Amino acid sequence: MATLDVSVVGELNLDIIFYGLPEKLELEREHLAKELSITLGSSSAIFAHNLSCLGDRVGFTSCIGSDPLGEICLKRLGESGVDISHVRKFAGKTTGLTAVLPQRIERYILTYPGTMYGLSMTDLDLGCIFSAKHLHISSYFLHKGLRPAMVDPFRKAKEAGLTTSLDTNDDPNNRWSPDIQLVFKYVDILLPNENEACQLAGAADFRQAAEILSKNVPLVVIKRGSQGAYARRGAEKFEGFRLPSPLSIWWAPETVSTPVLFTNSSAARVRRIACSTPT
């Protein structure tokens, strides 16, 4: 019997969000923000946190440095009920940190990877990970240590009877290496945003991207910011609703990813997933 509902493997860091900055940021000038928020960051951690808050049993595998940033991350995750016993601490290393600078409809994202690069296959307790029903991995292109062997945990998870999902996130080097196609073979649910989907598929728009990607992955759910989400499973298409304008656009995309894994993939529920809105 599975002891976890979902095992999440990924990066762990804090986000610092500066609100109300000038649209034009000049060099050698001091720019003042109107508000500041320090919150749990990283795709995988936000996903694990939200899923646990919905009531799933979630185990988290990651690494942090031996510093206050890492301790704050662990505290935030632990408070949500996530099992953090498999988060490794690397002595003498620094936990990653992301600064987010929102503009009108877009944002600057500045990341110091820190220990994100350090996670490798030797840090994964496969026995614990495969005690779950589902494996979710985030930020494919940030995992320099894990990426060369990324196929292995997905393949072994499928062999162990788990379902799997991948949230690729952005490629900071903008290369979008085709080696990720080898991983798709063992992925049940793919969760890119609109730009990521187009880059992965070499497509001009998100609908074309979904059509291409769905030939390799059974269920593709594309996160579209204030436009909601768009899902495709084979020939079936499900389109979400536009979010109400008063809603802040700076919610994390993982807010849409979470209900995808919290429900099964029946047609009716996929439609509800595609229409999910963050709160």
Segment holding 211, helix H or strand E = helix 206-213
Q: What pLDDT, on a 0 to 100 scale, did the predictor assign at position 276?
A: 40
Pairwise pLDDT comparison (156 vs 225), residue with the higher score: 156
Sequence ranges of the domains in the chain: 1-24+32-137
Name the CATH topology of 1-24+32-137: UDP-N-acetylmuramoyl-L-alanine:D-glutamate ligase (3.40.1190)
- What percentage of the chain carries pLDDT values higher than 90? 79
Does the model's pTM come out above 0.75?
yes
Cβ within 8 Å of residue 200, ≥6 positions away: 168, 176, 180, 192, 209, 213
Q: What pLDDT, on a 0 to 100 scale, did the predictor assign at position 270?
A: 47
pLDDT tens by residue, 166-212: 999 999 999 999 999 999 999 999 999 999 999 999 999 999 999 99
CA–CA distance, 191 with 237 (Å, rounded to integer) = 15
pLDDT tens by residue, 72-98: 999 999 999 999 999 999 999 999 999
Q: What pLDDT, on a 0 to 100 scale, did the predictor assign at position 256?
A: 47
> Tokens at residue 265, please?
């993939």
pLDDT band at 260, cuts 50/70/90?
Answer: low
Distances from the Cα of 170 to the Cαs of 2, 126, 216, 227, in angstroms?
32, 26, 20, 19
pLDDT above 50 (res 21): yes
- Sheet containing strand 163-167, edge to edge, reads 83-90, 58-65, 4-9, 132-138, 163-167, 189-190, 219-223, 229-233, 236-239
pLDDT above 90 (res 8): yes
Contact between 167 and 192 under an 8 Å Cβ cutoff? The reply is yes
Say which amino acid occupies 251. W
> Tokens at residue 168, please?
């690729």
